[in-house]
Amino acid sequence: MEQNPANPERPLLRNTVQSHTERGPWVDDPIRSIRRSADSPESADPAGPGGGPRTAEDLLAAVAKGDEGAFERLYDLVAAPVFGVVRRVVRDAAQSEEVTQEVLVELWRTATRYEPSLGGAMNWALTLAHRRAVDRVRSAQASTNRDERAAAMSADRAFDEVAEAVAARLEHEQVRRCLSSLTVLQRESVMLAYYGGNTYREVSELLHTPLGTIKTRLRDGLIRLRDCLGVTR
């Protein structure tokens, strides 16, 4: 059995039986998904007839050449994770659909600039999704009274709300386990910032904790998660 050098707990199997909640090559780090595609042509990835592109990275490379069929298959890989992130941050269903559409079209438009050396295609898509979701809530909240909303919401309630909703939908056991390995403050900071779409300043207010502390807990927390998840890039 080959060991994943970044995370010895996790065997790097060719034909890993994926849990039903894992939907494609993107759930793991890009290195693994690239290896899988190279090593296991028999895998059940959404390959085209005649062994077309299979990983999200391959698909994105084909999309960069204007291949609409490849985009369709890429859509099937990334749309649910993108929508999940956007929905979590934006919340409103109609707006989440709009933002998801923007993100996916932007993925099509900017595929020409994707470089595998910068990270996996799923990472690329989700980074964009989170950024656009946050843009949307911050500009929307600019026209309501964001400060008052944040102040009115007690830290406990805000955190509980995010934590419950996320815990209920955290489909990946490993992510759940790694999150629970963080200190309480690290975990709260990471979840309120990433899933809640809050600035670290807002996180500091919500948790009644000094800015500098939140800044370092966010970083420490993410570093610990990185090591626990075995993320290399």
Please, which of residues 164-223 interact with other proteins by CB under 8 A?
166, 169-172, 175-176, 179, 190, 193-195, 197-201, 203, 215-216, 218-223
Spatial distance between the Cα atoms of 59 and 55, rounded to a whole number of angstroms: 6
Contact 121, 110 (CB under 8 A): no
Closest CA to 175 of 222, 133, 211: 222
Residue 195 near residue 88 (C-beta atoms within 8 A): yes
Stretch that binds other proteins, among 9-17, 44-52, 107-115, 151-159 (CB under 8 A): 107-115
Residues between 59 and 98 that touch other proteins (CB under 8 A): 64, 66, 68, 71-72, 75, 79-85, 87-88, 97-98
According to CB under 8 A, which one of 15, 19, 145, 180 is a site residue for other proteins?
Answer: 145
Query: Closest distance between other proteins and the C-beta of residue 45, in Å?
Result: 16
- Provide the 3-class DSSP secondary structure of residue 3: strand
- One of 39, 147, 161, 164 touching other proteins (CB under 8 A): 147
Answer yes or no: are the C-beta atoms of 36 and 14 closer than 8 Å: yes
Q: What's the min distance (Å) between Cβ of 46 and other proteins?
A: 14
Number of residues that bind other proteins (CB under 8 A): 90
Alpha helices for 51-145 (secondary structure H): 56-63, 68-90, 93-110, 121-143
Query: Restricting to residues 28-57, which ones interact with other proteins according to CB under 8 A?
Result: 29
């693994």: which residue's tokens? 32
Identity of the residue, 112 or 154, whose beta carbon is nearer to other proteins in the bound complex: 112
